[in-house]
Structure 1
Amino acid sequence: MSGWAARAGRWGPALLGILASTALLAWFARLEPRWVALGWVELVPWLWVLDRTRSGKEAVLAGTVLAMTFTAAIFGWFPEALHRYSQAPLAVCWLAVLLLAPLMELQFITFALVRHHLRRTSTPPLSFWRITLTSALVYVGTEWLCPKLFAETLGQGFYASESLRQLADLAGAHGLTFLLLIGNECVLAAGKALAAREAPRRVAVPLAVLAVLLLAGTGYGRLRIWQVARETAREPALKVGVVQANITSYDKLAAETGMYEVVRMILDTHYRLSDELLQGRGVDLLIWPETVYPTTYGSPKSEAGAEFDADLSGFISERRVPLLFGTYELEQEREYNAAVFVGPGRGGELTRSAYRKTMLFPLTEWVPESLDSPWLRERLPWTGYWKRGPGPRALELTLREGRRLTIAPLICYESIFPGYVAEEARRGAELIVTLSNDSWFQGTPGPKLHLMHAAFRSIETRLPQVRVTNSGISALISATGEVLTEVPDDHRASLALSVPPPPRLTTLLVAWGDWLGPTALVLAGLLLLGRALPFRRRAP
């Protein structure tokens, strides 16, 4: 048999194994309860491939291929969205996404390489556990060290399990990923032992570990759900009105009718939907989505801008309802994406406070000053001009009848960062409020994935959340991550939401921040370098 035929004979089954794991990963990522069990077996075919690799290069190749197939399966909608936004050829967008996949999904490669190394160097009796724990630590540590564009991690698929997702208040979704990796290794070990007709103990032990993970995770989840229900039943709900007008493509509309007419239409639509909402409902706070007021509020650039400012202020004064809305803020020629709160004061005057978005989407919203140049702007005319805000903060609002509320404000992309939201929670927030513009991903899985990220932030902080978007998905999320009410993608609606009070439960993630990633790197380093650790058999 020729060398080429021999390689094809080995890599044909390997490719099938990688594609099998990719298919299982894609089903698991649908976030549906019927596919939750796949989380415990989805990587088994790929782990089997890794067991057959003969060198570090082959292990890296197996990780690289999975990174690319995973990206194509889970984020196959993104090249089309990128094409619509940038007007670059679709083929170029696909090529860019696939070429960047090994960098964006580097954890598959580091996991594969470390696991291959450990399989060659570890010796019984505890080699399986050293390989399993160290590789899983490297995986989650890599994800923390090399942040991703969409901050996805495999454990997020367990969101579809009401009980298992509650574990995220300990170590975030990455903690669920860590358990998922251990579970898959256990299934593979039991399967190999069964196929080789080894002693029953070799089959039973890994399956017992998997059973303990399932039972302990489910038990903890049920306990936390009960605690949240007990705590939130003690206080009255907050009444919050949200408006999703489903108005998108501001630039396109402005090119057709002029910017003045666009802003006029946006405001009038939100006034009408808000008035329908306010009739007899006693709303404590009204919320509009990100950049709903597409000009600088409070620092008008023209007479038309001053007219719109006065118009919006008049609306708030007449309705006597505080409003939180997305707009731009201008300070010394630096423009910010902001959430502005305006409410009627005791003497009839309007009070105002603001939060400026810090975590900006790369290139489309923000370009680092070190990279910004006329050359870059000429070649990428769609790049953004916004500046970064000062960081996480809690915003104190005065609602109707003088009621006080401290919120954790988030704008769009910020909701994917656990540590950022945990810092706002530590500052005394009672409610997460997210303003978002997901219209760039309208009609794709993007809005659903963004909603899932938001739900994990509520679990991690044990805070309810109101999420308001321009085109969907707007939602009310409980402290257990349950979506209590939602307005689907590509719909127009206004809702009065009864927001439950925060359960005031402490969480490890709020106390310690996003602690698992750096801890995993340190532990993995110790396990890889520590000859004195008991995983290594001493020479006779």
Structure 2
Amino acid sequence: MEVSPSGAGSARVVGAACALAATTAALWAFSLLQAPWTSLGWVALVPWLASVDQVRTSRGALVLGGVLSATFTAVVFSWFPRALHSYSGAPVWLCWTMLLLTAPVFQLQFPVTALARHLARRAVGTKVAWLPPVASVLVFVGVEWLAPKPFADTLGQGLVYSERLRQGADLAGAPGLTLALLLVNECLLAAVVAFRTRGSVLALRRLVAAAGIVSALVGYGAVRLHEVRAATRAEPLLVVGAVQANITNYEKLKAERGAYEVVRLVLDTHYALSDGLLREAPLDVLVWPETVYPTPFGVPKSEAGAELDAEISGYVSARAVPLIFGSYDVEGGREFNAAMFLSPSAREGGAPERAVYRKSKLFPLTEWVPEALDSEHLRAWLPWTGRWSPGPGPRTVVLRRGDGRLLRVAPLICYDSIFPSYVAEEVRQDADLLLTLSNDSWFSGTRGPGLHLTHAIFRSIETRRPQVRVTNSGVSALIDASGGILTDIGDDQRGTRVMRVPSATVRPSLALQWGNWLGPVALLLAVLLLGGAALGGRGTRL
């Protein structure tokens, strides 16, 4: 990347720019999650990696990595500035500026990988040709685990709609698929280099290695897919009525109609849609989305609020069906984003039994501000910052079916679902089912709901548990233990679904037992390799 007055220096700059453009374009196409573009994930990084191998200084490597962070963010997350503008009211240009300035932080794997690759190559030269690419792969995966990522994105998520390839996620989650993608990219780059310098035989070996990685992943996926299908029973685990009313932008509606009228509209709509489901089929439970009841339930702030609480409880008792819905919970002056579980009383005429799950993983700033940053000045500057408190952590809730059978549910609210270890911890508490409530309405019309659904699919694969996902405006879905979407309600649509949750007992996965284990292991190995290379290089010079 170093600018030089010579023609060779200019050629390197042009070559680096072309490599960045090619890799960025390929990653953008890969992120569309549509065949045949998803096949580009196996080759997308080759131009950029080849360019990194040509840089002469650490600064040049960092620049190549930093620029790819920015271009990758700009094309893959181009929807986010518009969503942030819609939510906060901040100017679009400011939202874009914030996105691009933070790109090297939130996509730190690119600059750190480029630097590690350059340093490894400088330390060992051509004596240990395998070390720079192996170190690059390990650093990439390790840094993604270590560095902050608001959307927890990783390249392996691009394989989500490949039925066989995605099954490999039960070993090490989506990062395991990222590892496979990176290794294949390295093998293909090594094949190109070998063909140019050392002949076609060595290049063919590199191509065979790449094909072997893909074949192993496909073979493993076929075996696990067969196991899941063979273990699936005919009788459903649970019959769920899911309601997606597509009522959005509560704040705007409140300004136009008043707070009470908005809550009245929301409840009446959900009652009507739920009654339609109850006429359609016998249900074990009704599920409404996150924050559908936008006020504390059970701790009313007014007489009108108490009446609405009683009305919801009365609905559960009259219909004799459990109801799960998103609301707020209050304790000790703190407010929580919560999921309410209401079940008809076992005593005739008794009040419904209630259980509560409190969301633990809150989105920074919009839902929660760390105490170290919180101040009146910050809230005056960013009036849309949230005031919720995080819940106590992973827990399960017992749900009683209509036939009296008890099921243990792993509840998740929105952002909870993007943390693999959190979900695995809930499932290890003997959960039979993942139940996700979400409100993705401020992402509606963008690629945000699809990304959130991708996370949900991987959580089901990693834990080998079916999942009911109910959202305010989409995408609501029933996901089986293989990650297959059995039924869904699309983005920005109103609809209901009777979801017959499949029951399958599949042998436990490594991702369930160990959680998000690959990242720290990869980082440790990378440090050991790079440290050994640095010491070896110093010893040679001495």
Q: Which residue of 2 aligns with 1:312?
A: 312
Quote the offset at 1:235 in angstroms.
Answer: 4.5
Structure 2 partner of 1:83: 85
CA distance in 1, matches of 2:481, 2:156: 19
Q: Equivalents in 2 of 1:236, 1:315: separation in Å? A: 25
Residues 1:160 and 1:401: Cα distance change in structure 2 (over 3 Å): closer
Residues 1:384 and 2:363 are matched in the alignment: no
The equivalent of 1:27 in structure 2 is 29
In 2: Cα distance, 1:2 partner to 1:419 partner:
48
Alignment correspondent of 1:131: 132
Q: Secondary structure at the match of 2:180?
A: helix
Check the 8 A contact 1:122/1:536 in 2, yes or no.
Answer: no
Aligned to 1:118: 120
In 2, Cα distance between equivalents of 1:235 and 1:398? 17
Distance, in Å, in 2 between the alignment partners of 1:533 and 1:212 is: 33
**1:224-273 alpha-carbon deviations (Å, 9 max, x no partner):** 10000011136444211100000000010000010000000000000000
What amino acid is the match of 1:373?
A: S
**Which residue of structure 1 lines up, in the alignment, with residue 407 of structure 2?**
405
How far 1:189 moved relative to its partner? Answer: 1.1
Q: Could you tell me which residue of structure 1 aligns to residue 468 of structure 2?
A: 466
Amino acid at match of 2:223: L
Alignment partner for residue 420 of structure 2, among 418, 425, 438? 418
What amino acid maps onto 1:252 in structure 2? K
Match of 1:251 in 2: 251
Mapped to 2, the partners of 1:300 and 1:99 lie a distance apart of: 43
Do the aligned partners of 2:227 and 2:506 also contact (CA within 8 Å) in 1? no
> In 2 relative to 1, CA 319–381 (structure 1 residues): closer, same or farther, beyond 3 Å?
same
State the AA in 2 paired with 1:288.
W
What residue ranges of structure 1 are gaps of 5+ in the alignment?
none
Answering whether residue 155 of structure 2 is matched by residue 154 of structure 1, we say: yes
Q: Distance in 2 between matches of 1:173 and 1:182?
A: 14
The CA distance in 2 between the partners of 1:440 and 1:4, in whole Å, is 51
C-alpha separation in 2, matches of 1:46 and 1:123: 19
* Structure 1 pair 538–227 and aligned structure 2 pair: CA distance change class (3 A): farther
Within 2, Cα distance between the matches of 1:514 and 1:280?
Answer: 41
Assess if the C-alpha contact under 8 Å between 2:123 and 2:533 holds in 1: no
Judged with a 3 Å threshold, the aligned counterparts in structure 2 of structure 1 residues 52 and 98 are, in CA distance, closer, same or farther, namely same
The 1:103–1:522 alpha-carbon spacing in structure 2 relative to 1, beyond 3 Å, is same
1:139-178 paired onto structure 2 within 5 Å? 139-178=140-179
User: SS of the counterpart of 2:104?
Assistant: helix
| Residues 33 and 161, structure 1, Cα contact 8 Å, conserved in 2 | no
Match of 2:196 in 1: 195
The 5 A counterparts of 1:423-462 are: 423-462=425-464
Contact 1:472 1:487 in 2 (8 A): yes
Cα separation, 1, equivalents of 2:466 and 2:148: 26
User: 2:403 is paired with a residue of what secondary structure?
Assistant: helix
Instruction: Find the counterpart in structure 1 of residue 358 from structure 2.
Output: 356
Identify if the C-alpha distance between structure 1 residues 246 and 236 changes in structure 2 by more than 3 Å, giving closer, same or farther: closer
Structure 2: any 5+ residue segments left out of the alignment? none
After superposition, what is the alpha-carbon deviation per residue over 1:466-523, rounded to whole angstroms, capped at 9, x for unaligned?
Answer: 1000000000011111111110001000110111013332010111111111111111
Q: Is the Cα contact below 8 Å between 1:33 and 1:160 reproduced in 2?
A: no
- C-alpha distance in 2, partners of 1:502/1:436? 25
Alignment coverage as a number of residue pairs: 537
Residue equivalent to 1:59: 61
- Deviation per residue, 1:364-414 (Å, 9 max, x gap): 000112221111111111000100000011111122231211111100011
Paired letter, 1:399? R
Say if 1:445 and 1:310 are closer, same or farther in 2 by CA, change over 3 A.
same
Q: Distance in 1 between matches of 2:210 and 2:136?
A: 17
Q: Whole-Å Cα distance in 2 between the matches of residues 383 and 261 of structure 1?
A: 25
Q: Distance in 1 between matches of 2:234 and 2:538?
A: 54
1:130/1:535 contact within 8 Å kept? no
Task: State the one-letter code of the partner of 2:154.
Answer: T
79-88 or 268-277, which deviates more: 79-88
- In structure 2, how many angstroms separate the alpha carbons of the residues matched to 1:5 and 1:190? 28
213-222 or 198-207, which deviates more: 198-207
TM-score (structure 1 length as normaliser): 0.96
Change (3 A) 1:2 1:70: closer
What secondary structure, in the 3-state scheme, does the structure 2 residue paired with 1:391 have? coil
C-alpha contact 2:287 2:324 (8 A) present in aligned 1: yes
The 1-side partners of 2:107 and 2:326 are apart by 33
CA contact (8 A) 1:295 1:328 kept: yes
Q: Which amino acid aligns with 1:215?
A: S
Please identify, of 241-250 and 208-217, the stretch whose mean Cα deviation from structure 2 is larger. Answer: 208-217
Query: What SS does structure 2 have at the residue aligned with 1:17?
Result: helix
Residue matched to 2:222: 222
TM-score scaled by structure 2?
Answer: 0.96
Distance 1:183 1:534 in 2: 28
Shift of residue 36, structure 1, vs aligned partner: 2.6
Code of the residue aligned with 1:410 in structure 2: it is: L
**1:280, CA displacement in angstroms?**
4.7
Deviates more, 1:100-109 or 1:525-534: 525-534
Q: Go from structure 1 to structure 2 and tell me whether the alpha carbon gap of 1:378 and 1:360 turns closer, same or farther (over 3 Å shift).
A: same
More displaced 10-residue stretch of structure 1: 445-454 or 25-34? 25-34
Deviation of 1:6 after TM superposition, in Å, equals: 5.5
Could you tell me whether the CA contact under 8 Å between 2:123 and 2:537 is conserved in 1? Answer: no
CA distance, structure 1, for counterparts of residue 451 and residue 280 of structure 2: 35
**CA offsets, 1:341-360, max 9 Å, x none?**
00112213211101000000
- Measured in 2, the distance between the counterparts of 1:139 and 1:479 equals 28
- 1:278-297 aligned at under 5 Å gives the runs 278-297=278-297
Q: What is the alpha-carbon distance in structure 2 between the residues aligned to residue 87 and residue 154 of structure 1?
A: 31
